[in-house]
Amino acid sequence: MRMPPEVNKHVQVAGTGSALPERIMTNAELSRMVDTSDEWIVERTGIRQRHIAGEDESTASLAWQASVRALEAAGMQASDLDLIVVATTTPDLVFPSTACLLQAKLGIENHCPAFDVQAVCSGFVYALATADNFIRAGQARTALVVGAETMSRITDWTDRSNCILWGDGAGAVVLRAAEEPGILGTVLHADGRYRDLLHVEAGVSSGLDKSRAVRMQGNAVFRFAVNTLDQIVDETLTRFGLQKSDVSWLVPHQANIRIIQATAKKLGMSMDRVVLTVDQHANTSAASIPLALDTAVRDGRIRPGDVLLMEAFGGGFTWGSALIRWTQQGGA
């Protein structure tokens, strides 16, 4: 790893990428598996379909595809990276980390640090904040930040109250030190008292033989998420001195369209300023924000100069946000 002697003033996103498994599972297919309907799922969640990883796909393989695309968009080589941070709740292995598996897949031999961050659906915002701080502190000049998940592997396909929600995928961003912002700031929070509302029982220390499926009291989580995201919008804008009207795009965690609509209302934004992928991707946990971001960057909606507000809420509970002034993609 290069060790620049000085701190870096700002951090910009140089490129984005994403990857989705080929297999699509529609609501119609789900309604043949559990007692539900396309109508109920669309009305209560906004989800129409989700992508499901095949046997030959994994969190690391999706992360690798998204990373290759992000590096290409940034005009950079994998060997240019000083840091890799992967946000995931569904790692390929207990260890090595998915970030280390990704480093090997990218063929990087420069010994840059690589590690995973686990904050469930807030994972990407946590990973972005971590890499942003590494670069600002002068411990890296470039970083690859990935959100990648195979949530289908921890889904109980007989539980209609939550199997309808999840999807698989990965999104990645390449960050670089810069003279101008970039990332205007990040806000992170957690409250560990709510494990019973949203958790997976199985774990290395508590027993891998326990249930590996997501258990969620959806209604309680929903209410908590709406209130918490409401507060973090105010906190973020106040902390970084922006008005609601300064935000060009809301790029939210894609859990449920009704949660997203509540945040947009709080911001006084019309839904055409919100990047929505929940209908196509469902809830891909840590992958959902970078997947949505890459979608809107590639279709030309997000333009240099736009201000993006990202926000997420997830298991833990964890929640967080990032404000970004968008800059030109590709080589500096």
Interacting residues toward ligand ACO by CB under 6 A: 36, 40, 44-45, 120-121, 160-162, 164, 198, 218-219, 221-222, 225, 255-256, 259, 283, 285, 313-315
Residue 327 structure tokens: 């800059």
d(CA 187, CA 235): 8
d(CA 140, CA 233): 29
Cβ(250)–Cβ(263) under 8 Å? Answer: yes
Residue whose structure tokens are 């990276």: 81
Give catalytic status of residue 8 as yes or no: no
Q: C-beta of 35: minimal distance to ligand ACO in Å?
A: 7
d(CA 135, CA 119): 21
Cβ(322)–Cβ(49) under 8 Å? Answer: no
Residue whose structure tokens are 């969190």: 59
Q: C-beta of 199: minimal distance to ligand ACO in Å?
A: 9
Choice among 121, 162, 163, 281 that is catalytic: 121
Q: C-beta of 73: minimal distance to ligand ACO in Å?
A: 28
d(CA 207, CA 295): 38
- Comparing CB distances to ligand ACO, the nearer of 126 and 313 is 313
- Comparing CB distances to ligand ACO, the nearer of 255 and 296 is 255
- Comparing CB distances to ligand ACO, the nearer of 17 and 314 is 314
- Comparing CB distances to ligand ACO, the nearer of 15 and 252 is 252
- DSSP at 306: -
Q: C-beta of 128: minimal distance to ligand ACO in Å?
A: 17
Give catalytic status of residue 253 as yes or no: yes
The residues that are catalytic are 121, 253, 283
